[in-house]
Structure 1
Amino acid sequence: MTKNKKIAMNLLLVVGVPLLILLGIYLFNDRKYNIISILVAIVACIPGFYKYEKRDSNMLLIVVIAVLSAISIIGRVAFGLIPFFKPVSAVVILSGIYLGKEEGFLIGALSAIGSNIFFGQGPWTPFQMFTWGMIGFISGLPWISKKCKENKFYLSLLGAFSGIIFTMIMDLWSTLNFQDVSLERYGLLLIKAAPITLIYIVSNIIFLLVLQEPIGKMLERIDQKYGIKEMGK
């Protein structure tokens, strides 16, 4: 893929998806969130389908993406009785680190819409898809993924950052649901959510430290044998 095409695909995820979500909020007044969720999932798949088109060998990478998405979904369901303490962000972060930013975004988006089959779909689903997608995308940036592979401190720092980002974007959704949208209300929501954000941070760090070795080694072995990272380029 050429440099310009890579930039276009990245803009589609980072800019196109939030514009699509905002369109759903203001055009459909959040009533058609299922349609928006499906559209977000389709847009998240476009960079991957574009890269994998006409390459039979890339079927393995698609299978790996499906497996990691399933692990993330099952993990969220398994820890369903523990509020806010979930392994989803950790799996998405590791997916981005070891597979790449586009794959990280896709796994994050699929994790949200897939796990909400059990937790309930709603207007929050597209925001969750974008939030976890962006966490995977950021984790897959080359200089970030390199640092996190080499040093658990940077990995933990990324986990903490992801917990904060998750709260900030989801509280943005909460703010937009009020008729009188204001920065003051947004700030109050962030302050009120501080204890929950702390749980996000702690759970992300714990799950990252526990899961990095098994998931990381598995993906590295597959990459050494089949070159899955080269497939995604």
Structure 2
Amino acid sequence: MRAKKGLVSLLIFALLIIFIIVSLLWVNHYLFLSFGVIITAILLFLVHFERRVIEAREIVLLAVLAAIAAVSRIPFASIPSVQPTTFVIMMAGLVFGAETGLIVGVVAALSSNMVLGQGPWTPWQMIAWGLVGFTAGLLRNQSFMKKTWGKVLFAISWGFLFGWIMNLWGLLAAFGSEALLDMRLLIPYFLMSAPFDTMHAVSNVIFLLVFGGIWIKILERFKRKYGLLE
């Protein structure tokens, strides 16, 4: 079982890398790439639950979590990098597992951009938020993730990692692949984004400390009562 999960994890990262490379070469067709990321996430989700039929109420739960993550981003759109989307995706991964977190992340990014604006950045946001949920699910059984300080550290880390992933897209889109090897571009670009990444990290921690406990209790209750996404 562990070997199978490890193989699935490697497959996910390999596919995400492929999508990143293709998005650079096929920049004008970002919507096709976005749906490709979603299809990949769904296939991996189905692989995880291959031994039983997925119930309709589980699909509804996924849709509701993705909708909450997407809609919660919109009221905060005027505040750079501050939104509860990362927090919601993190909760989905922590309670329901890596595959669920991945799907909630990629769907939330695509659907929220239907309102906020689609662009070549969309597949990168889908991958970044998908990885938030996926890594939260992978680490959920680790002892440090069961403690508040562990969740806080995770939230801070992804506040910066999300920004760094989007920085890579910005550099590649503006200057090409050679920018990644040019420290004169790389360092100033990342330094300029640091205040926004810090705001993202701080907002993640605030949402986690204020709402994290009650969210986990509610989602765990649904999971146990209805046997959802076991």
Whether the TM-score (by the shorter chain) exceeds 0.5 is yes
Query: In structure 2, how many angstroms separate the alpha carbons of the residues matched to 1:54 and 1:6?
Result: 14
Query: In structure 1, how many angstroms separate the alpha carbons of the residues matched to 2:144 and 2:17?
Result: 28
Could you tell me which residue of structure 2 aligns to residue 181 of structure 1? 179
Deviation for aligned residue 1:51: 3.4
Aligned in 2, Cα 1:34/1:57: closer, same or farther, shift over 3 Å?
Answer: closer
Could you tell me which residue of structure 1 aligns to residue 110 of structure 2? 113
Alignment of 1:1-233 (within 5 A): 2-26=1-25, 28=26, 30-52=27-49, 55-56=52-53, 58-142=55-139, 146-148=143-145, 150-177=146-173, 178-179=175-176, 180-183=178-181, 184=183, 185-230=185-230
- Secondary structure of 1:34's aligned partner: helix
Aligned length: 226
Deviation for aligned residue 1:108: 0.8
Q: What letter corresponds to residue 167 of structure 1 in structure 2?
A: G
Deviation for aligned residue 1:146: 4.8
Aligned 8 A contact 2:97 2:140 in 1: no
Aligned 8 A contact 2:102 2:131 in 1: yes
- Secondary structure of 1:123's aligned partner: coil
Query: In structure 1, how many angstroms separate the alpha carbons of the residues matched to 2:142 and 2:65?
Result: 17
Tell me, which stretches of 5 or more residues in structure 2 are unaligned?
A: none
Measured against aligned partners, the alpha-carbon deviations of 1:32-63 in whole angstroms (never above 9, x if no partner) come to 11111111111111111233458445333222
Instruction: Indicate the RMSD between aligned Cα atoms, in angstroms.
Output: 1.9
TM-score (norm 2): 0.90
Measured against aligned partners, the alpha-carbon deviations of 1:120-173 in whole angstroms (never above 9, x if no partner) come to 11110010001011111111124566533x322111111100011011111011
Deviation for aligned residue 1:3: 4.2
Query: In structure 1, how many angstroms separate the alpha carbons of the residues matched to 2:126 and 2:100?
Result: 13
Deviation for aligned residue 1:227: 2.4
TM-score (norm 1): 0.89
Aligned 8 A contact 1:17 1:130 in 2: yes
Deviation for aligned residue 1:226: 2.3
- Secondary structure of 2:72's aligned partner: helix
Identity of matched residues, % = 34
Query: In structure 2, how many angstroms separate the alpha carbons of the residues matched to 1:192 and 1:210?
Result: 29
